[in-house]
Amino acid sequence: MRLRFTKMHGLGNDFVMLDGISQRVKLSPEKIRHLADRNLGVGCDQVLLVESPRNPDTDFRYRIFNADGGEVENCGNGARCFARFVRERRLTGKSRLLVETAAGILTLNLLDDGQVGVDMGAPVLEPEQVPFAADVRADSYPLEVDGETYMIGAVSMGNPHAVLLVDNVDSAPVAELGPKIEHHERFPQRVNVGFLQIQSRTAARLRVFERGVGETRACGTGACGAMVAARLRDLVDEEVRIQLPGGTLTIHWSGPGQPVTMTGPASTVFHGQIVL
> 253-258, long-range: CB within 8 Å, 24+ apart, which pairs?
253/123, 253/224, 253/227, 253/228, 255/231, 256/122, 256/123, 256/125, 257/122, 258/122
**In 95-253, where do the E strands start and end?**
96-101, 104-110, 116-119, 141-145, 148-156, 160-165, 192-200, 203-210, 214-216, 239-244, 247-252
Q: Could you tell me if residue 43 is left (phi over 0), alpha (psi between -120 and 50 degrees) or otherwise beta? A: left
Question: DSSP secondary-structure letter at 171?
Answer: G
Q: Select from 247, 234, 152 the least CA-distant residue to 196.
A: 152
CA separation for the pair 34, 91 (Å, rounded) = 26
Please identify which of the residues 44, 75, 81, 224 carries the catalytic annotation.
75
Please identify which of the residues 44, 81, 219, 224 carries the catalytic annotation.
219
Main-chain dihedrals φ then ψ at residue 88, nearest 5 degrees: -65, -30
Cα-based torsion angle of the residue sequence 80, 64, 68, 45 in order, rounded to the nearest 10 degrees: -10
Q: Is the peptide bond before 131 cis (omega within 30 degrees of 0)?
A: yes
Main-chain dihedrals φ then ψ at residue 235, nearest 5 degrees: -100, -15
Known catalytic residue at 219: yes
Known catalytic residue at 81: no
CA separation for the pair 31, 274 (Å, rounded) = 11
Q: Select from 37, 39, 18, 40 the least CA-distant residue to 27.
A: 18
* Residues with catalytic function: 75, 219
